[in-house]
Amino acid sequence: MYATEADLVTRFGDDIENLKMMLPSQSSVNDAIQDATEEINGHIGGRYPLPLPNVPSNLRRMACDIARYRLYFQQPSEEVRQRYEDAIAFLKRVADNKAHLQIQSPETGQIVDDEPENKPSTMPIGTTYRGGIFGDDVLNMMPSIK
């Protein structure tokens, strides 16, 4: 999961405690966090291999916003609804490759690029191709078109 109950309490304080008193079961908070995690995975799973090696702070914040929205089983406030919609809008941008999560590698601490590592290389115009099936000597033996 991308967030914990402690993360929710740290971010929203008494609001979570008040919601917990009105919830039907003790597992409701964990259920809301699990729902938020699954919703996030639905958006980012097409771009990033799951599970993520490291949870970026912006993803933890969005998980908290989504879980808080889910905890409001009645009408959420305008601020809660807006935070939820903002999180979903960002996740849609991530899914469309218009935004990045900035996931850090646990070993190196560097940002993990979600682009394929084996990109085809390009050569400047006028460079001689030196490998593959046909070398220059084979191509020079072929008849030219005039």
Q: Which two tokens stand for residue 101?
A: 């999560």
pLDDT at 121: 54
Q: Which long-range contacts (CB under 8 A, 24 or more apart) does 105-111 make?
A: 105/53, 105/54, 106/53, 106/54
pLDDT at 126: 62
Report yes or no on whether pTM surpasses 0.85. Answer: no
3-state secondary structure of 40: helix
Torsions phi, psi for 106 (to 5 deg): -65, -30
What are the per-10-residue average pLDDT scores of the chain (146 residues)?
94 91 84 95 90 89 96 89 97 92 78 54 59 68 75
Which amino acid would we find at residue 61? R
- Number of C-beta neighbours around residue 33 at 10 A: 24
The one-character DSSP state at 107 is T
pLDDT at 60: 95
Q: Across-strand partners of 111?
A: 104
Single out the residue of 35, 18, 103 nearest to residue 69, CA to CA: 35
CA gyration radius, the chain: 25
pLDDT at 106: 74
pLDDT at 90: 96
pLDDT at 118: 47
